[in-house]
Amino acid sequence: MDLHLDLDGPRVRAGLESALRDAISGGRLGPGTPLPSSRALAADLGIARNTVAEAYGQLVAEGWVTAVQGSGTRVAERVAAPGRGASSAETAARGARYDLRPGSPDVSAFPRAAWLRAARRALNQAPFAALDYDDPRGRPELRAALAEYLARARGVRTSVESILVCSGFAQASWLLCHVLRIAGAGTLAIEEYGLPTVHATAVACGLDVRTLPVDGDGARLESAGDAAAVLLTPAHQFPLGVPLAAGRRAQAIAWALAGGRLIIEDDYDGEFRYDRHPLGALQAHAPDHVVYAGTSSKTLAPGLRLAWLVLPPALVEPLVAAKTIADRQTGAIDQLTLAELIASGAYDRHVRRSRLVYRRRRDRLVAALAARAPKARVSGIAAGLHALVTLPPGRTEEEVIAEAAERGLALSGLAMFGAGEPRHAPALVVGYAKPPEHAFTGAVARLAAVLA
Amino acid sequence: MDLHLDLDGPRVRAGLESALRDAISGGRLGPGTPLPSSRALAADLGIARNTVAEAYGQLVAEGWVTAVQGSGTRVAERVAAPGRGASSAETAARGARYDLRPGSPDVSAFPRAAWLRAARRALNQAPFAALDYDDPRGRPELRAALAEYLARARGVRTSVESILVCSGFAQASWLLCHVLRIAGAGTLAIEEYGLPTVHATAVACGLDVRTLPVDGDGARLESAGDAAAVLLTPAHQFPLGVPLAAGRRAQAIAWALAGGRLIIEDDYDGEFRYDRHPLGALQAHAPDHVVYAGTSSKTLAPGLRLAWLVLPPALVEPLVAAKTIADRQTGAIDQLTLAELIASGAYDRHVRRSRLVYRRRRDRLVAALAARAPKARVSGIAAGLHALVTLPPGRTEEEVIAEAAERGLALSGLAMFGAGEPRHAPALVVGYAKPPEHAFTGAVARLAAVLA
């Protein structure tokens, strides 16, 4: 294929990126258009192949293009609207009355009164030092509360010294990729279905990304090979919804121990298991080789931007250095408030209440689809804030999402979470936790109608 | 000089960095020890010079070594204590009863009651969307309040669309350096005296740093040359305390316009001028070429980690992309609370109250030194939260700081803020805002005694 670009200015890579951005945002390169290979474009333009590869990497990180193993680089299906940080699909979904997209809890149930009470107690007791430049790892009150909570609720082996409070999992994953890269790591292995943002972050930090197939037992580790680290969602694979089987957990730890490699355990919804006691964290089996990552985004609200890493001792120092450069430390008042919320028991009460609500919602979703759309199939364990709903045979994700949008319901297809060639049948990732309580019944009714 | 290093492992740069860290933390390379030039070390080790230069750059960013133009690379005087994020000097200062180091306001005066009232009003009114994943630029309530406040108080030309809320100035400067670098920028010019963290951030982002001499009229722009951007503190040079003279302001803008270059205006303490109405922001004269940076760290508390950038239109999109990768968005509750504090007038009242207090403190400092240490000289305009105190002839910063420490007073010397060869006589950067009110008199008495 031929691609006409006008390069200008002395800095070729920046010029190339800018020319490609203009061509995409101006519509000359439409969604899904394949781009030439970096080798071919470099030859065409008479510039170094690395320059093209780096420009492509930057555009992947910015969301303009996607890189799919085996099928090259393409213009992204949904390019972020310039300066808004919201894709056109997101903008359309904002107008939707009902929303079953995954990723968020029911923020209308955020415990505002309990939060404000905790904030008052916390701020009135806070030492002056808490309001000044402070320990980049976070407030000792919060790290102590988290150490106790994570040991009790998730079986994590930790200490106040090894916890790093982060500004959300987005920052946590950026810090980890950045530190891996400057320690000389080349490749991060991730699950072939997962959060696209993790992929983009790894590429932006200069890491190569290798995807691991996921089957009914979770990620298949034999593909990890010589990657420096692997990011897993062992408790509840996102978005496929399976737990990592016991044999695979052992295999992951053996892989890490044998090569001095790292496992990043993304325990994004480990608090929510409905059918039985959740499996404890993988981290407890190899605390020197596993980084445990937790977040308040599913238990409280994504808008808080509070997450935490439990670090192997050798990683504390480089992560603290990266955090210091990135933003010095996370805001103190929210940290103190969350510490007070955990210490007072209000956090546990909120999690238990949410668990009951989401469990009932999942049951109602399963029952509604079984009754009114029996050809749709719900899979994954009874856990978390989302379910995988495989479409009735013959239906495509695009048509189902479009039909739902006409009925005022926003949905997400599985394809947008896939990093490789689609291996799974067309499906929806249904975030049943997201709607406020009054809208849940209407949302599920519309979903069932679309899938009937 | 000879330097013995055992390189191991396949990745030479990481191995070199790690070997140097071990040699420094183990004490084999003491504070101030000069390191070989990157050319010499590369030849010794038989590796590429770039590899050595990159390893040095990383170690500068991490605070292990310092790079001084013209005098090469040396082991830092105060290496960060591993895993603590606090230098040994900081640890020693924590034990001090009195503290006149610059950088912080009096956090004991943080308006806790007003903050909690604003938090209650803000959280009770917040739409559900504020608690969910949201606009990476920040809450519209805060951007609207800042647009009004910055126009009124600092003469900034802005709109809600062009403001990016950041997690402190540390993050703001990281985002800017990162975006400059991926846009192809090579060099950032900074003032030869300034925050060491800005220097480290630029190097960590892969930028070369060029330092501009500062005289009584502020930074000398003719040294900026072909740098892609310059970071200035026009209202009140940190730490020398002079404003950028009118001719220099015009010169800076002409430089930026002529080359399509960028000025970063760090208006860290622009709210605090005591002798007359402060000069308006430089940004108003060329909003397409100046990024205005403001912060709540001096007006309220550094622990909040709330800062803001007012961006030229062309920079909004790349900064939003960088922010999205870095931490998605800044925490919503503090943003909503600050918006309410500004909109209700409580923020202005707190700033006015602080201005009166700090103005009186500055007058008391000047009077005490004039009476009891007449050979020390206070310079800089009547503004901000710090004053430059040139030492009596014959005294050194080290001996004054050590003598003060014995009396329980923590001080900072000018040298720690210098990026080049020292051009200024030995001096202290005295942060008179920092002590709580009850400790101010004792702190100044001790300072006067040490300088007498």
CATH label of the domain that carries residue B22: 1.10.10.10
Report pLDDT for A56: 84
Is the minimum CB–CB distance between A134 and chain B shorter than 8 Å? yes
Residue holding tokens 């197939």? Answer: A213
Whether the CB-CB separation of B245 and B223 falls below 8 Å is answered with no
Residues A137 and A273 in one domain: yes
Report pLDDT for B264: 98
ipTM (interface predicted TM): 0.81
Question: Taking phi first (over 0 means left), then psi (-120 to 50 degrees means alpha), and beta for anything else, what does residue A242 get?
Answer: beta
Residues A197 and A153 in one domain: yes
Residues A179 and A278 in one domain: yes
Q: Is residue B81 part of a domain?
A: no
Q: At CA A187, angle to CA B65 and CA A72, rounded to 5?
A: 125
Whether the CB-CB separation of B300 and B110 falls below 8 Å is answered with yes
Report pLDDT for A3: 58
Give dist(CA A61, CA A199) in Å, integer: 8
Residues A312 and A184 in one domain: yes
Report pLDDT for B95: 65
Residue B204 pLDDT more than 50? yes
Binary contact (B115, A137; C-beta < 8 A): no
Binary contact (A303, B171; C-beta < 8 A): no
Tokens of A354: 């949410």
Residue holding tokens 């001790």? Answer: B446
CB burial string A347-366: b at 16+ within 10 A, e below: bbebbeebbebbbebbeebe
Is the minimum CB–CB distance between B26 and chain A shorter than 8 Å? no
Which of the residue ranges B44-48, B203-207, B337-341 has the most confident prediction, judged by mean pLDDT?
B337-341
- Confidence label for B336 from pLDDT (cuts 50, 70 and 90): very high
Give dist(CA A197, CA A213) in Å, integer: 18
Residues A175 and A117 in one domain: yes
Give dist(CA B338, CA B108) in Å, integer: 18
Q: Is residue A3 part of a domain?
A: no
Q: How many angstroms separate the most distant Cα atoms in chain B?
A: 66
Residues A410 and A276 in one domain: no
Tokens of B7: 């390189």
Secondary structure of residue B2 in the 3-state scheme: coil
Q: Tell me how close the Cα of A373 comes to any Cα of chain B, in angstroms.
A: 30
Q: Is residue B2 part of a domain?
A: no
- DSSP code of residue A193: B
- Amino acid code (one letter) for A436: P
CATH number for the domain spanning A432: value is 3.90.1150.10
List helix spans (H) across A373-436. 397-406
Residues of A in contact with B304 (CB under 8 A): 131, 331-333
Residue B188 pLDDT more than 60? yes
Residues A61 and A203 in one domain: no
Give dist(CA B301, CA A128) in Å, integer: 10
Q: Count other C-beta atoms under 10 Å from residue A140's C-beta.
A: 18
Binary contact (A303, B131; C-beta < 8 A): yes
Query: Of B302, B322, B347, which residue sits at a domain end?
Result: B347
Tokens of B39: 């050319």
Cis peptide, bond prior to residue A36, ω within 30 of zero: no
Virtual CA dihedral for B360, B361, B367, B369, nearest 10 degrees? Answer: -170
Whether the CB-CB separation of B234 and B262 falls below 8 Å is answered with no
Q: Each residue of A236-278: pLDDT tens digit?
A: 999 999 999 999 999 999 999 999 999 999 999 999 999 887 7
Binary contact (B133, A303; C-beta < 8 A): yes
* Beta pairing class for A262-266 and A229-232: parallel
Range with the poorest average pLDDT among A88-97, B27-36, B339-348: A88-97
Estimate the share of chain B in helix, then strand, then coil, as percent rounded to the nearest 5: 45, 15, 40
Of A174, A273, A184, A284, give the one whose Cα is nearest residue A231: A174
Q: Is residue B5 part of a domain?
A: no
How many domains does the structure of chain A reveal?
3
Instruction: Residue window 162-191, chain B: list those with CB within 8 Å of chain A.
Output: 166-168, 170-171, 174, 182-184
Mean pLDDT of chain B: 89
Residues of B in contact with A174 (CB under 8 A): 325-327
E strand or H helix at B39, and its extent? helix B38-45
Report pLDDT for A281: 92
Pick from B47, B128, B306, B341 the residue to mutate for testing the A interface (most A CBs within 10 Å): B128
Q: Which residues of chain A have pLDDT under 50?
A: 6, 8-10, 79-89, 91-92
Instruction: Residue window 326-365, chain A: list those with CB within 8 Å of chain B.
Output: 326-334
Report pLDDT for B295: 98
Q: Is residue B1 part of a domain?
A: no
Beta strands in A225-346 (DSSP E): 229-232, 262-266, 290-295, 307-310
Residues B294 and B376 in one domain: no
Query: Which residues have CB under 8 Å from B334's CB, separation 6+?
Result: A331, A333, A334, B304, B305, B306
Mean pLDDT calculated for residue range B191-199: 93
Query: Of B347, B363, B390, which residue sits at a domain end?
Result: B347
Residues B103 and B122 in one domain: no
Binary contact (A333, B184; C-beta < 8 A): no
CATH number for the domain spanning A234: value is 3.40.640.10
Query: Which residues have CB under 8 Å from B326's CB, separation 6+?
Result: A170, A171, A174, A326, A327, B171, B174, B175, B178
Q: Count other C-beta atoms under 10 Å from residue A77's C-beta.
A: 14
Q: Each residue of B292-324: pLDDT tens digit?
A: 999 999 999 999 999 999 999 999 999 999 999
Which residue from A184, A323, A324 is facing B14, i.e. has the nearest CB? A184
Query: Of A301, A316, A347, which residue sits at a domain end?
Result: A347
Report pLDDT for A7: 53
Residues B166 and B305 in one domain: yes
Whether the CB-CB separation of A68 and A74 falls below 8 Å is answered with yes
Residues B244 and B339 in one domain: yes
Q: Is residue B194 part of a domain?
A: yes
* Among chain A residues, CA nearest to B182: A14
Is the minimum CB–CB distance between B412 and chain A shorter than 8 Å? no
What pairs with residue B190 in β-bridges?
B211, B231
Q: Is residue A258 part of a domain?
A: yes
Range with the poorest average pLDDT among B60-69, B192-201, B283-292: B60-69
Tokens of A163: 């916890």
Residues B193 and B332 in one domain: yes
Secondary structure of residue B201 in the 3-state scheme: helix
Report pLDDT for B178: 95
- DSSP code of residue B391: P
Binary contact (B184, A334; C-beta < 8 A): no
List helix spans (H) across A5-48. 12-25, 38-45
Structural domain of B275: 112-347
Is the minimum CB–CB distance between A128 and chain B shorter than 8 Å? yes
Give dist(CA A375, CA B446) in Å, integer: 81
Q: Is residue A6 part of a domain?
A: no
| The model's pTM | 0.82
Report pLDDT for A446: 97
